[in-house]
Amino acid sequence: ASMLAATLSLLGHASALRIVPRASPLRACASSTSGEPLQLAAARSMLLAALEGVPADDAVAEVSGIIQEIYEQKIAPVEPAIWTPDFAQRQDAIIELSLGLDALEEQVKGPLLTGRQVTSADGLLYPSFVLYFNALPQHYGWTEWTSEALFYKRPRLHAWYELMGYERRMPASAAEESVRSLVSELSFEWAQPVPTLSHRGVPAEYE
């Protein structure tokens, strides 16, 4: 919690829902021009800071880079559709986000994103998945134990997300608390269910 407070301070904490510029901290070649809420940015920065200097061999670094690039190119640009009240073409954006998650699933090695070693990819993506897990089922119709669920046909991402809750090499629990607090403070009164299964090309097994 103290690390989170320090990170918020460094980002210029003025309001819980303040929007800060969204840019990749790791891959300048692929960044979103949208903003993101302060608490989400703080959680991401906190995890990435904890991973600075963590060594990775060439193979792990390559996979980490691929995963980060998928996130920055396919997911980060449409992520603001989750929290922005007047986001244009929200339904299309949420569908694109879902397809981006499928692209991520194809690259995950397990048990963590790049294998057994925690990398910057884990730190970059985990706050976003906390957001998805706490916002999409309740406000966008991605109901658990249905074919629209966040982790439906995404078993490697599901296992990774659950394992991250036990990760001690970075402050995952503090990051989760920060993002869950953000979700609780957003109204989502404008949100509507956005089914995506029919666009994913996978069969429905739960109704």
Per-residue pLDDT tens for 127-146? 999 999 999 999 999 999 99
- For residue 24, what pLDDT is reported? 43
Q: Do β-strands 19-21 and 35-37 pair in parallel, antiparallel, or remain unpaired? A: antiparallel
- For residue 154, what pLDDT is reported? 97
- For residue 31, what pLDDT is reported? 32
- For residue 202, what pLDDT is reported? 82
Identify the helix (H) or strand (E) that includes residue 21. strand 19-21
- Secondary structure, 3-state, 115-139: CCCCCHHHHHHHHHHHHHHHHHHHH
C-alpha to C-alpha distance for 159 and 40, rounded to whole angstroms: 22
Neighbours of 93 (CB within 10 A): 19
For the whole model, what pTM was predicted? 0.84
Q: For the chain, which ranges sit under pLDDT 50?
A: 6-34, 207
- For residue 197, what pLDDT is reported? 96
C-alpha to C-alpha distance for 145 and 167, rounded to whole angstroms: 25
Task: Give the pLDDT confidence of 50-80 residue by residue, as tens digits.
Answer: 999 888 889 999 999 999 999 999 999 999 9
Residues 149 and 142: beta-carbon distance below 8 Å:
yes
